[in-house]
Amino acid sequence: MNARHARTTRAPEPHDRTGWTGSTLRTQVWVLTARSLRAAFGDYRLVFFGLLQPVVLLLLFSQVFSGVGSLPGVAAYDGYINYLMPATLVNIAMITAMGAGAGLVAETYTGVVGRFRSLPISPVSVLLARTFADTARLAVQLVVIVVAAVLLLRFRPDGGPFGLAAAVLLTLVVGWGLSWVFVAIATWQRNVELMQAVSFIAMYPLMFSSSAYMPLQNMPAWVRAVATVNPLTYAIDAARALALGRSPGWALPLAVLLAMVAALGGGAAAARNFRRSA
Amino acid sequence: MRKLGKMERARIDVTGLGKTYGPVTALTGVDLTVAAGSVLAVLGHNGAGKTTLVDILATRTRPSTGKASVCGYDVATHGHEVRRRIALTGQFASVDETLSARGNLVLFARLLGAPARAAKARAEELLEVFGLTEAADRPALTYSGGMRRRLDLAACLVGSPEVLFLDEPTTGLDPVSRTGLWATVRHLARSGTTVVLTTQYLEEADRLADRIVVLAAGAVVAGGTPAELKARVGARTTTVTFRDEWSARWAVEEFQRIGLAPTLDPDAYTVTAALPDAGVILALLRALDRYGLDLADLTVTEPTLDEVYLSLHRAKWQQPPAPAAVERDTA
Ligand SMILES: Nc1ncnc2c1ncn2[C@@H]1O[C@H](COP(=O)(O)OP(=O)(O)OP(=O)(O)O)[C@@H](O)[C@H]1O
Ligand SMILES: [Mg+2]
């Protein structure tokens, strides 16, 4: 009753005294990232199944494809898990990046992004926050899956803890770059179903026509051709080399460069689309 | 000092504004100005173009033709400057549903540049004003439609907007919240905030607005003060319901004797008549009382949006007239 009464008799004071008319880019990114993180980690069920998903993926692939371990080109890795695991890291990064796009579309539905578009904040900070939060989520997933692989699948890469850490770090950079591609798709196609359809078309070829599950030398020529231009191949090769303590060679700078190009290109497109309206 | 500057600048200028979505013309040739510290009500039926107009002014949609400026800044070229000075509550709730009411208000305050502590204090203040204190810590996902609406409105008062856009702000609110919102709007206008609100209800526009524009099929078909508009539309109507048909028939003569033009509905025992002024009501009651006629009900209704449209019946609107209005017209 009291609250109702208050509602009819009191009106909020307008704020001449504060003059809040905008914040710095840093504040925006920080506040928005914290918001997304709270959303991502706030629901325990979401966290649990989000973490379970990559573990299931790894278990399935490592068992179903265990025969691959004896193929030429893989045998040298001393167990399929050593070959598979770094690639799985990169593929998880891609799935999470896709989630970044889907999340942005979902938010557009609940309308909060609509309000952001009428606030004096930069579209870049809204999108940056989204990708930072998703990269943080990715980091947790990667750590969980590495621990799971070490404990359950006797994953013992020659690179040791440092090599593994380097591989995880590289994966985070690649995942961050990839998330911009899907965010750009999301701001372009503001429709969950369409967005997913477009993303899956992008995802499967990237995932399978690469060196992720099978060395390229065992593939038909045309798939090999696709795989050579597939940017993920470089990320996977680099992650694998780092984890296994080999020299990544050109793959490493190339993977980082490609991630940055994806971030810049996707970011520019997304920022433009974000302000544009249908 | 700041107030004076604000009064000079906080206004809206729109010339020849148009917006098309492919083959659909949502707005066409809209001209209007809103003086600083005044309240403009944009009145119109579904699809009239109200949301499109508000979204263009709030820089969420780009105009196809024409120019619009808010606080002296062009919405197409200086969007950021406009956004620093406005706040918008859209037609559909736009809050973070995973956050609580408090979380939402703090978030928006922080994004506007409020330090953490001041943001919390402001959130507390608004929660109380909008009656959301009890639900303040639940996720907005669990709120009722009206609560979400109130949170939405609170969210746009977090800062100190010079111009406030409210797209159908009272749709879905209960009567208490509606009256509260009206008080809030009046209060804000008194302290210098320029308010643009859209509504489907003439009554609401009448109560709040200094000026009203009527949109139909994307064009402005009428504009003026509420009094001017009502003068064009015609008077209020009274409907008196009696206990039986005989009383109603008797009353018709009494209506006529004091100079009204009544319409009888013998099945409902009602007599309806337009009221030239409020004083006539007294004369009518005296006349009915003299014969001891027993009233079951008496209502006085304001002209509705339909009547505004009908009386303006200009141009190309394709809204089918409501049955009630047609009956009254032909009677
Ligand atoms: N994104 C869009 N794409 C295509 N047509 C649109 C779009 N947005 C609005 N329209 C069209 O523009 C016209 C005006 O729509 P608008 O939303 O401005 O009406 P409104 O007066 O706010 O209606 P309501 O009272 O239902 O909210 C309608 O015919 C609508 O179908
Ligand atoms: Mg609307």
Distance from CA of B60 to the nearest CA of A (A): 6
Inter-chain Cβ pairs, chain A and chain B, closer than 8 A: 147
What is chain A's mean pLDDT, rounded?
83
Query: What is the distance between the alpha carbons of residues B167 and B155, in angstroms, rounded to a whole number?
Result: 14
Which residues from chain B sit within 8 angstroms of residue A275, using beta carbons? 79
Does B184 sit within 8 Å of A12, measured CB to CB?
Answer: yes
User: Cβ(A199)–Cβ(A103) under 8 Å?
Assistant: no
Instruction: State pLDDT tens for residues A13-72.
Output: 544 555 788 888 999 999 999 998 887 787 788 788 888 888 888 888 888 887 877 777
| Residue B54 φ/ψ, nearest 5 degrees | -65, -45
B169, B196, B231 — which closes off a domain? B231
The CATH number linked to B268 is: 3.30.70
| Per-residue confidence (pLDDT) for residue B181, from 0 to 100 | 87
Residue B270 lies in a domain: yes
Give residue ranges with CB within 6 A of ligand 1.
A 278; B 21, 24, 26, 44, 46-52, 91
**What pLDDT is recorded for position A113?**
84
Task: Report the alpha-carbon distance of residue A1 to residue A268 in Å, rounded.
Answer: 51
Distance from residue A136's CA to the centre of ligand 2 (Å): 38
Cβ–Cβ below 8 Å for B131 and A27: no
Query: Which of B198, B231, B264 delimits the end of a domain?
Result: B231
- pLDDT for B56: 95
Please report the pLDDT score of residue A230 as a whole number: 86
CATH code: domain of residue B177: 3.40.50.300
Per-residue pLDDT of A72-122, as tens digits, reads 777 777 778 888 889 889 989 998 888 888 777 777 766 788 888 889 998
Instruction: Pick the ligand that lies closest to the CA of residue B317.
Output: 1
A189-198: list long-range contacts, CB under 8 Å, 24+ apart.
A189/A105, A190/A105, A190/A108, A190/A278, A191/A105, A192/A102, A192/A105, A192/A106, A192/A109, A195/A101, A195/A102, A195/A105, A196/A102
- Same domain? B59 vs B186: yes
Q: Identify the band that residue A11 occupies on the pLDDT scale cut at 50, 70 and 90.
A: low
Residue B195: its chain A contacts at CB < 8 A?
none
Name which of A115-119, A153-157, A196-200, B33-37 the model is least confident about.
A196-200
What was the pLDDT predicted at B104? 95
* Domain limits for position B162: 10-231
Let me know if residue B165 belongs to a domain: yes
The DSSP symbol for A14 reads P
* B41 strand-pairing partners: B197, B212
CA distance B93 to chain A (A): 6
Q: What is the structure's pLDDT at B88?
A: 94
Tokens, residue A274: 């974000």
Question: Rounded mean pLDDT of A232-236?
Answer: 90
Pocket probe for ligand 1: among B19, B24, B171, the residue whose CB has the most ligand atoms within 8 Å is: B24
- Provide the 8-state DSSP code for A28: H
User: In this predicted structure, what is the pLDDT of residue A76?
Assistant: 76
Is B324 contained in some domain? no
If asked whether residues B280 and B131 sit together in one domain, one would say no
Whether B153 and B22 map to the same domain: the answer is: yes
Query: What does the block give as tokens for A94?
Result: 């891609």
Query: Which of B188, B191, B193, B217 minimizes the C-alpha distance to B315?
Result: B217
In chain A, what are the domain boundaries? 24-276
pLDDT of A12 reads: 54
Q: In this model, does residue A200 exceed pLDDT 90?
A: no
B257/B220 same-domain check: no
Q: Are residues B71 and B112 in the same domain?
A: yes
What pLDDT shows up at residue B313?
54
Which residues face B196 on adjacent strands? B40, B165
Q: Do A118 and B97 touch (CB under 8 A)?
A: no
Distance from C-alpha of A271 to C-alpha of A122, rounded to nearest angstrom = 9
Specify the amino acid at residue B28: T
**Minimum Cα–Cα distance from B96: chain A residue:** A112
Kindly report the pTM of this predicted structure: 0.78
Residues B210 and B244 in one domain: no
User: How far away is chain B from the Cα of A258, in angstroms, using its nearest Cα?
Assistant: 32
Q: Kindly give the parts of chain B with pLDDT less than 50.
A: 1-7, 10, 314-331
> In this predicted structure, what is the pLDDT of residue A2?
42
